[in-house]
Amino acid sequence: MKVFISRVSTDDQSELRQIQNVGGFDKVIIDKCDGDIGLWNRPEIVKNKIKKLVDNGTIKHIEFHQIDRMGRNLKNILEEYEYFTSKGIRVVCRNPNFQNFTESGEEDMFSKLLLSILGSVGAYEKSLIKRRQKEGILITQKLFPEKYSGRKQNTKESNLKFLSKHSKSVEYLNKGMKGVEVSKLCNVSLNTITKIKRKMELV
């Protein structure tokens, strides 16, 4: 089975640009959802049981219009790419143009090099961000030590401050998503989700 996957962020955006030349595909999946939602949690992906079809070997070819349609960020994209490759599924991306396997089933070495470069760039950018954060904290500690003195004993964090720390979870819950889904998307415990819901009712 050959599947073409596209995504646009809102109902107002047109997917027509992405779904050119899709003749010959068994399924054309068009999701309209936020880019922060992972590939396997997108509504149409779930509805069409694409993960199950991948896992049981039914899908042999998956194609994307552009690389950012595959995942939430570079790390996530590389993880999905490796996952498909481990399953022996041919992955084709049109923009930029790369594939893990050629039509004859051979490994595409140029694409492998391209993905390894992207992975190195992603890791380098992450290390730079961490270094800048650390440097910023050190400078702030010296100039404004009171900001890093920690919460005083017997004081409570305000509801708004707590919710602001979990703004993405709040956003998803306000959209009507289930607590279990939000927990997975935002990598927080169900206990925290329950606490967020409770505090949302108080503000």
* pLDDT tens profile 128-177: 667 767 777 777 677 766 655 555 555 566 777 888 888 888 888 888 88
Measured CA to CA, the distance from residue 186 to residue 192 in angstroms comes to: 11
Question: Are residues 97 and 162 part of one domain?
Answer: no
Residue finishing a domain among 93, 114, 135: 114
Question: Are residues 195 and 101 part of one domain?
Answer: no
Number of domains making up the chain: 2
Strand residue runs (E) in 13-108: 27-32, 61-64, 90-94, 97-99
Domain membership of residue 73 (yes or no) is yes
Mean pLDDT score, 174-184: 85
Containing domain of residue 61, as a range?
Answer: 2-114
Does position 62 have pLDDT exceeding 80, yes or no? yes
Task: Look up residue 96 and give its two tokens.
Answer: 């930029």
What is the percent of the chain where pLDDT is above 70?
83
Model confidence at 122, pLDDT cuts 50, 70, 90, reads low
Q: What is the DSSP letter of 151?
A: P
Question: Are residues 109 and 17 part of one domain?
Answer: yes
Question: Are residues 107 and 158 part of one domain?
Answer: no
Does position 56 have pLDDT exceeding 70, yes or no? yes
Model's pTM, two decimal places? 0.55
Cα distances (Å, whole numbers) of residue 25 to 42, 80, 153, 168: 20, 21, 62, 35
Closest CA to 201 of 161, 157, 170, 165: 170
Long-range CB pairs of 70-76, under 8 A, 24+ apart, other chains included: 70/5, 70/39, 71/38, 71/39, 72/35, 72/36, 72/37, 72/38, 74/118, 74/119, 74/121, 74/122, 75/122, 75/126, 76/38, 76/39
Measured CA to CA, the distance from residue 88 to residue 70 in angstroms comes to: 17
